[in-house]
Amino acid sequence: MSLLTVNHLSIDFTTRDGTVSAVSDVSFTVDKGETLGIVGESGSGKSVSCYSLLGLIPMPPGHIKNGTAIFDGIDLLQANEKTMRQIRGKRISMIFQDPMTSLNPYMRVGQQIIEPLLQHSNMSKTAAKEKAIALLEEVGISDAANRFQQYPHEFSGGMRQRVVIAMALITEPELLIADEPTTALDVTIQAQILELIHELQQRRNIAVIFISHDLDVIKRMADRTIVMEKGHIVEQGNTQAIFDAPTQAYTQKLIASIPNSAKPEAYRFTGDQDSHFLTLNNISIAYGNKKNLFKAVDNVSLTVKQGEILGLVGESGCGKTSLSHSIVRLVDIQQGEICLQQDALEKLSIAELKGKALKATRKDIQMIFQDPYASLNPRMTVFNTLAEPLRLHGLASNAEDIKNKVLTLMQDVGLEARWANKYPHEFSGGQRQRIAIARALAVEPKLIIADEPVSALDVTIQAQILSLLLKLCQERQLTMIFISHDLAVVRYIADRTAVMNQGKIVEINDTESLYQNPSDPYTKSLLAARV
């Protein structure tokens, strides 16, 4: 018999615009010791269905319309609060997505780890502490006895997720629900955490429900996989079988959207190999005061050729964003020189620009940011968002001209003209990123800096935006610096790739050469960490 049997689960949410069905008619089973992967894009209902098993969805607005979830003879959806409390954290544990927010910042981690144990057993504090320290060591935290006394902010992201895992496992649960446990982590850390979860599961023979939007992660972790779309199960079965031969159109589309190829031939750089469009000479950027100096960018030199897409890859804190911000003068450099070539002879030193000249150069360099939810002004319509830079830089002669230019821009990025008077919140994530791209293009820049432009997007949307960027760069002969932590994405879009680590560029090469024959040990470890 299965450990957990979910039958015909349907969940509604009451919103201002009426009732929305978040999950409808979802049925699955989990057996002892197996890993069930649930994969889907945002809004597919993958998290909601699992949260409902533990009674963690707020009700109202949530409402379980139908279904049963039998765990060891108990219906989790009908059980009273007292019964549920004895299951939550004892027999079924959870690991949440963001280890930065899922630990209480006001409490020592040790206290938080032993809490479920003290709640669910009669164990003494000393015994619980001993067990917790042993477990912390098992999940790879050295010097556990001292770390036990520390607060969450004294741990790095990966270490915190280890703490969260220890906390979930301390009561020796039969079922572990992991909701995007590695999404917020860097690739090398992600690989370690996935390995850890896999190892612990083998050792303790626990069942795991692994929720992720990342197909590669699911492919690696799950024995069986469920593919969800808009609250429905599209396909379920053996993981290998689903990835090798998906039967449903949606699954096929999802798998096809994973960037796993080299840059398409048609879009490759064909310009002048010796051009020096943008030159960075020995630049350094540091934060903090004299006593506590943190060098974000340490003596970096780099040349970008006219018309190429340069990928900039690195993990969080490597300095890639500081470097890109210095090019648009959002941060000042302490040392070095940034030059933008105007024409064959003239060169502009960006760091020395002031006033009007700075404004003119800003027009030539535009940025696209990671989060299309945060980077668009929520109180401006699409039309105004796109018209503002045109007016600001005097690129249109009159109202008619502005209107034409805005509508052309919208068409170029695949937005319908009738949406011009809508506000950002009325658009989906992918559409918003199209607006952000259009805004960057509005002033006809020569260089685009795209800082993780597809990281916040679902995989199918990500594929659309990537091909849009490739198309636009070619049509408009744009030069682009494409920053990402995602190696597969960079491989698909960049002509050359630079790898950054601890403020330095450790390797730069043609993308394919770099992916196939990495020379630097850090690049090698990054590539090895890919799932």
The distance of closest approach from Cβ of residue 332 to other proteins in the complex, given in angstroms and rounded to an integer, is: 21
**x-or-dash pattern for other proteins, window 222-251, by CB under 8 A?**
------------------------------
- Residue 176 or residue 327: which is nearer to other proteins going by CB? 176
Applying CB under 8 A, the span of 66-74, 103-111, 185-193, 316-324 interacting with other proteins comes to 103-111
Q: Is 391 helix (H, G, I), strand (E, B) or coil?
A: helix
Which residue, chain included where needed, has tokens 């199960």?
233
Among 96, 210, 515, 522, binds other proteins (CB under 8 A): 96
Among 47, 102, 509, 511, binds other proteins (CB under 8 A): 102
d(CA 458, CA 412): 22
Q: Does 46 bind other proteins (CB under 8 A)?
A: no
- Name the CA dihedral angle for 117, 123, 129, 132, rounded to a multiple of 10 degrees: -40
- Residue 4 or residue 454: which is nearer to other proteins going by CB? 4
- Name the CA dihedral angle for 144, 150, 154, 155, rounded to a multiple of 10 degrees: 40
Q: Are strands 35-40 and 62-71 parallel, antiparallel or unpaired?
A: unpaired
Among 90, 363, 432, 434, binds other proteins (CB under 8 A): 90
Q: Does 74 bind other proteins (CB under 8 A)?
A: no
Among 40, 67, 116, 453, binds other proteins (CB under 8 A): 116
Q: State which of positions 313-342 bind other proteins (CB under 8 A).
A: none
The distance of closest approach from Cβ of residue 102 to other proteins in the complex, given in angstroms and rounded to an integer, is: 5
Which stretches does DSSP call E strand in 380-511? 447-451, 479-484, 496-501, 504-510
Q: Are strands 18-30 and 74-75 parallel, antiparallel or unpaired?
A: unpaired
The distance of closest approach from Cβ of residue 103 to other proteins in the complex, given in angstroms and rounded to an integer, is: 6
Q: Does 151 bind other proteins (CB under 8 A)?
A: yes
d(CA 336, CA 356): 22
Beta bridge partners of 14: 19
The distance of closest approach from Cβ of residue 54 to other proteins in the complex, given in angstroms and rounded to an integer, is: 6
Among 24, 93, 370, 511, binds other proteins (CB under 8 A): 93
d(CA 12, CA 23): 7
Among 3, 49, 70, 120, binds other proteins (CB under 8 A): 120
- Residue 290 or residue 418: which is nearer to other proteins going by CB? 290
Contact 410, 427 (CB under 8 A): no
Q: Which residues contact 347 (CB under 8 A, 6 or more apart)?
A: 339, 340, 341
Q: Does 104 bind other proteins (CB under 8 A)?
A: yes
- Residue 49 or residue 93: which is nearer to other proteins going by CB? 93
d(CA 310, CA 239): 35
Applying CB under 8 A, the span of 102-110, 191-199, 342-350, 420-428 interacting with other proteins comes to 102-110
Q: State which of positions 289-318 bind other proteins (CB under 8 A).
A: 292
Q: In what order do the strands lie in the sheet with 294-304?
A: 294-304, 278-287, 335-341, 347-349
Applying CB under 8 A, the span of 68-76, 148-156, 311-319, 328-336 interacting with other proteins comes to 148-156
Among 27, 43, 56, 423, binds other proteins (CB under 8 A): 56
The distance of closest approach from Cβ of residue 120 to other proteins in the complex, given in angstroms and rounded to an integer, is: 6
- Residue 77 or residue 242: which is nearer to other proteins going by CB? 77
Q: In what order do the strands lie in the sheet with 232-238?
A: 92-95, 175-179, 207-212, 35-40, 224-229, 232-238
Q: Which residues contact 479 (CB under 8 A, 6 or more apart)?
A: 277, 278, 304, 305, 306, 307, 308, 309, 446, 447, 448
Structure tokens that stand for 148 in this block:
């036990």
d(CA 485, CA 426): 29
Among 167, 304, 323, 478, binds other proteins (CB under 8 A): 167
Q: Does 105 bind other proteins (CB under 8 A)?
A: yes
Among 15, 106, 343, 354, binds other proteins (CB under 8 A): 106
Applying CB under 8 A, the span of 38-46, 96-104, 331-339, 476-484 interacting with other proteins comes to 96-104
Applying CB under 8 A, the span of 146-154, 355-363, 434-442, 504-512 interacting with other proteins comes to 146-154
d(CA 219, CA 207): 17
Applying CB under 8 A, the span of 93-101, 335-343, 371-379, 466-474 interacting with other proteins comes to 93-101
d(CA 416, CA 398): 22
Applying CB under 8 A, the span of 2-10, 69-77, 84-92, 420-428 interacting with other proteins comes to 84-92
Contact 278, 341 (CB under 8 A): yes
Binding site for other proteins (CB under 8 A): 54, 56, 84-90, 93-94, 96, 98, 101-107, 115-116, 119-120, 151, 153-154, 164, 167, 292
